[in-house]
Amino acid sequence: MRTADGGAAAGRRVVVLGGTGYLGRRIAEAFQADGALVHLVSRSPAGDGPADARLALMDLLAAGPRELSGFFGSVRPDVVVNAAGRAWRADEAEMTAGNAELVARVTQSLAELPRPPRLIQLGSVHEYGAGTPGAGTPEDHEPAPVTPYGRTKLLGTRTVLRAVAEHGLDGVVLRLANVIGAGAPAGSLFGMVAAHLGEAARARSRGEKPDELRLPPLRAHRDIVDVHDVVDAVRAAATAPGADVSGHVVNIGRGEAVPMHALIDRMVELSGVDLPVVETVPGHSPRADVEWQQLDVSRARRLLGWRPRRTLDASLRDLLAAAVPAPVNGRT
């Protein structure tokens, strides 16, 4: 069985779209460590990204096919990872621009190159919609997304698969579970809870009473995957034989559904901050999300030699260590 070893990436030219974002910068760092020549594409400076990576400042949402084609033609990448897109604090039109229209321009530009690279598109579990309680969702499940994010990410996935079928693009979609780890975006549930716990710890240190943690009802079960495991999956997908992965969707998750109320309780316990968690009463608007997400990850094991390695506690400790200014307590 193939292992998730990125050593074969040494010497390859790798472009990471959205290369200064939460996932993009970690993916770039991993390829840099593997010896690849990494190019980051972002409208924002690199910040804490890999020091030796080359940065192309470009507003991907505004970049037309000619600008993208010129960039890809000058770099001549072996691998392109699309970690760009819109998720948090964006409306459906903004998500469509970032998650669907951008993918269409990227695939068009790559397909026109004399030697198209491997395109790794980062998809989302939210493309599936509702899962079957007690079971994992396989890649051949018919998607029925219920959120704008899921709908627009599915459009991006279908664009990649169509480019493979119609234009011979070498492309694979990694459909990611909910990603967790240090520096999770503030707009995400995990990032928001970590930030609140950090502020609560600082309030305690000042002798103040912290605000209670108020959350929407935590009825859902979610498949959670560590950001480091996602990076390993991307590395594996970059070097897998095209005959194995091109034109495929591959689920990347832990393959289990975790009760969100238990996960948040564990975050509070590990933080060492004693404060109440209050689940607010929902309004009268219909729920915009599903209550069960669990991925079947057997294809990832078969095609990529990949499996999740990080425990949930390890992921939570990383998340909290970056946000809470105190030792993180609790048992592994």
| CA atoms 81, 19, 94, 146: torsion sign | positive
The predicted structure's pLDDT at residue 187: 87
Angle between helices 260-271 and 312-321 (to 10 degrees): 50
Residue tagged 């169509």 (tokens): 162
Could you tell me the pLDDT band of residue 281, with boundaries at 50, 70 and 90?
low
The predicted structure's pLDDT at residue 274: 87
Q: How far apart are CA 64 and CA 61, in angstroms?
A: 8
Catalytic residues: 149
The predicted structure's pLDDT at residue 7: 59
Mean pLDDT of 9-33: 94
pLDDT tens-digit map of 161-179: 999 999 999 999 999 999 9
Q: Helix (H, G, I), strand (E, B), or coil: what is residue 323?
A: coil
Q: How far apart are CA 266 and CA 261, in angstroms?
A: 9
Q: How far apart are CA 265 and CA 325, in angstroms?
A: 19
Could you tell me the pLDDT band of residue 285, with boundaries at 50, 70 and 90?
very low
Mean pLDDT of the chain: 91
Q: How far apart are CA 23 and CA 117, in angstroms?
A: 20
Say if residue 6's pLDDT is above 60. no
The predicted structure's pLDDT at residue 3: 38
Say if residue 329's pLDDT is above 80. no
Q: What is the DSSP letter of 294?
A: -
Q: What is the DSSP letter of 209?
A: P
The predicted structure's pLDDT at residue 51: 62
Could you tell me the pLDDT band of residue 280, with boundaries at 50, 70 and 90?
confident
pTM of the model: 0.92
Mean pLDDT of 130-146: 96
Residues 146, 85, 251, CA angle at the centre, nearest 5°? 60
Mean pLDDT of 128-157: 97
- The contacts found for 190-197 with CB under 8 angstroms, 24 or more apart, are 190/267, 190/319, 193/264, 193/267, 194/267, 194/319, 194/320, 194/322, 194/323, 194/324, 195/323, 197/267, 197/268, 197/271, 197/273, 197/275, 197/320, 197/323, 197/324
The predicted structure's pLDDT at residue 331: 39
The predicted structure's pLDDT at residue 163: 98
Could you tell me the pLDDT band of residue 48, with boundaries at 50, 70 and 90?
low
Mean pLDDT of 274-302: 81
pLDDT tens-digit map of 203-232: 988 999 989 999 998 999 999 999 999 999
pLDDT tens-digit map of 55-105: 899 999 999 999 999 999 999 999 999 999 998 889 999 999 999 999 999
Please check whether residue 204 is in contact with residue 273, taking contact to mean a CB–CB distance below 8 angstroms.
Answer: yes
Say if residue 328's pLDDT is above 60. no
The predicted structure's pLDDT at residue 116: 94
The predicted structure's pLDDT at residue 108: 96
DSSP letter string, 118-134: EEEEEEEGGGT-SPPTT
Taking each continuous run of H as one helix and of E as one strand, the counts in the chain are 11, 13
